[in-house]
């Protein structure tokens, strides 16, 4: 790899790292202490995807039912 390719690769890894951290923080917030930030960071990609889907489904159900979410 030349220096430009390495720079692009590093930039991509930093972007992915920020996205994982943001997703983990979002899960922690929605789970209200049911999942620690450290535990969220240790989840696999599949586990994070599954939890995010469950959160989205629950938000949609809450909107449809009119029940308070927060």
Q: What is the pLDDT of residues 22-39, one digit of tens each?
A: 999 999 999 988 999 999
Contacting residues for 24 by C-beta, under 8 A, at least 6 apart: 37, 40, 41, 43, 48
Average pLDDT over residues 29-55: 94
CA-to-CA distance for 20 and 41, rounded, in angstroms? 7
Based on the structure, what is the number of domains in the chain? 1
Question: Does residue 5 sit within a domain?
Answer: no
Question: Does residue 26 sit within a domain?
Answer: yes
Arithmetic mean of pLDDT over the chain: 93
Question: Does residue 60 sit within a domain?
Answer: no
Whether 58 shows a pLDDT value over 80: the answer reads yes
Question: Does residue 25 sit within a domain?
Answer: yes
Higher per-residue confidence, 70 vs 64: 64
Contacting residues for 69 by C-beta, under 8 A, at least 6 apart: 58, 59, 62
Average pLDDT over residues 12-31: 95
Question: Does residue 34 sit within a domain?
Answer: yes
Question: Does residue 11 sit within a domain?
Answer: no
Residue 29 domain boundaries: 16-45
| The pLDDT of residue 33 | 84
Provide the CA 36 distance to its chain's centre, in angstroms.
13
Question: Does residue 63 sit within a domain?
Answer: no
């Amino acid at each position: 790899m030349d220096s430009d390719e390495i720079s692009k690769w590093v930039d991509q890894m930093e972007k992915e790292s920020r996205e994982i951290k943001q997703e983990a923080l979002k899960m922690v917030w929605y789970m209200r202490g049911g999942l620690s930030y450290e535990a969220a960071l240790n989840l696999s990609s599949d586990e994070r995807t599954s939890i995010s889907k469950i959160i989205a489904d629950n938000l949609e159900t809450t909107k449809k039912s009119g029940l308070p979410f927060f």
